[in-house]
Amino acid sequence: MQTELSKRLGIEHAVFGFTPFPAVAAAISRAGGFGVLGAVRYTAPDDLKRDLDWLDAHTAGRPYGLDVVMPAKKVEGVGEADVEAMIPEGHRRFVRDTLARYGVPELAEGEASGWRITGWMEQVARTQLDVAFDYPIRLLANALGSPPADVVARAHDRGVLVAALAGSARHARKHQEAGLDIVVAQGYEAGGHTGEIATMVLTPEVVDTVDPLPVLAAGGIGSGRQVAAALSLGAQGVWLGSIWLTTTEADLHAPALTRKLLAAGSGDTVRSRALTGKPARQLRTEWTDAWDDPAGPGTLPMPLQGLLVAEAVSRIQKYEVEPLLGTPVGQIVGRLTAQRSVQAVFDDLTRGFERAVERVNRIAKRSGQS
């Protein structure tokens, strides 16, 4: 699974794996792909430094990258406390009532929420970059549009490639105009924040729009034949996220969540604003249903929604309240039927890719003989 981009980065397979878990990112790089660590959960610079130290020591010298979330629009002089003050009391009451209805225990006295959304704020992302640029990262990816021009310049000064996700050809063109090096065409099927265009349609549109900029296909990809299809559409690699959630190296801290992922079908996800305020594909749960119910107060815009539900999500996860327990995940969740190591996932991807290419080659050969 080699392309010009994979050769440029010195990786064996053009498989880019996004994950919030350092152990998974390291295993992806060791398996010949390109591990990308999600930084959004790191609100303390020392925590990110600790995990980058670990990642650097466990990638066997293979390249890896970092994914941050920097909103396209910046609001000057607004901190977390200012944002918290904007949350209506009616929404806070709705959260309390919903948790009480399902008997979700409180956190212990003095225990801080383990899940915060402050990583969606630009000033937090900038502190993450101040740490990350001291490490040999080879790629910086942004999930919410093109990073600010000064961030792109800082990355390029250090020889770091810059990528951004795009849900439309229009967004992809903006990334190209901003001087980015890679566009990730993320289709409707993907986990997390997604647009409304399916991967099969979006990928060639983006490839044609930003040519000769390399494009990675994302969304609904979890097998070798799907990788082959993505490369056939003109992509120079694939960007995979959901497929790693049930690997043995992943640390979800919730056996019940792993069970739900393994039991879910491709129709058991929903695009909901319940988690962050922007449409994000995730497991459908009674929590997402409550927020999407017209009888409820409705979700708040980003980052208000994320701040509002941060403690609630931590409580749901800690106590594994199954009716409410969910996670961002794509429609490919239907293929997650057993826990496997990252290496086993790669073995399956490469074998499936080889079979798909051989099949297409046989068809092409027969067509040429007719």
Q: What is the pLDDT of residues 119-178, one digit of tens each?
A: 556 778 889 999 999 999 999 999 888 999 999 999 999 999 999 999 999 999 999 999
**b/e string for 239-263 if b means 16 or more Cβ within 10 A?**
bbbbbbbbbebbeeebeebbebbee
Give residue-wise pLDDT tens across range 84-120: 788 999 999 999 999 999 999 998 887 766 555 555 5
Q: What is the pLDDT of residues 306-336, one digit of tens each?
A: 889 989 999 999 999 999 999 999 999 999 9
- What confidence tens digit (pLDDT) does each residue in 238-262 have? 999 999 999 999 988 889 999 999 9
* Residue 226 banded pLDDT, cuts 50, 70, 90: very high
CA distances (Å), origin 367, targets 355, 356, 358, 363, 364: 18, 17, 14, 6, 5
* Under 8 Å between Cβ of 360 and 228: yes
For residue 16, give the amino acid letter: F
Q: H helices then E strands: how many in the chain?
A: 14, 11
- The Cα 181–Cα 160 span in angstroms is 9
More confident residue, 78 or 221: 221
Which one has a higher pLDDT value, 302 or 230? 230
Label residue 360 by pLDDT band (50, 70, 90): very high
- Beta strands (DSSP E) in the chain are 15-19, 34-38, 64-68, 139-142, 161-166, 182-186, 192-193, 215-218, 237-240, 269-272, 280-283
The predicted pLDDT at position 112 comes to 67
What are the angstrom distances between the C-alpha of 18 and each of 78, 161, 295, 321? 29, 16, 36, 26
User: Reduced to 3 states, what is the DSSP secondary structure of residue 288?
Assistant: helix
pLDDT at 77 over 90: no
Least confident span in 60-69, 80-89, 278-287: 80-89
CB distance 224 to 353 below 8 Å: yes
Rounded mean pLDDT, 259-282 = 96
Distance, in Å, from the CA atom of 230 to the CA atom of 200, rounded to the nearest integer, reads 8
Mean pLDDT of the chain: 92
3-state secondary structure of 19: strand
Nearest-angstrom CA–CA distance, 227 and 175: 23
For residue 143, what pLDDT is reported?
86
Write down the pLDDT at residue 113.
63
Given this model, what pLDDT does residue 70 score?
81
Q: Specify the pLDDT at position 327.
A: 95
Assess whether pLDDT exceeds 60 at residue 292.
yes
Q: Give which of 86, 68, 75 is closest to 308, Cα–Cα.
A: 86
Q: Burial-class residue 78 by CB neighbours within 10 Å (0-12, 13-18, 19+).
A: middle
Q: Which of 111-115, 193-197, 245-249, 345-349 has the lowest mean pLDDT?
A: 111-115
**Contacts made by residues 288-292, CB under 8 angstroms, sequence distance 24+:** 288/326, 290/98
Distance of alpha carbon 105 from alpha carbon 184, whole angstroms? 40
Percent of the chain with pLDDT over 90: 82
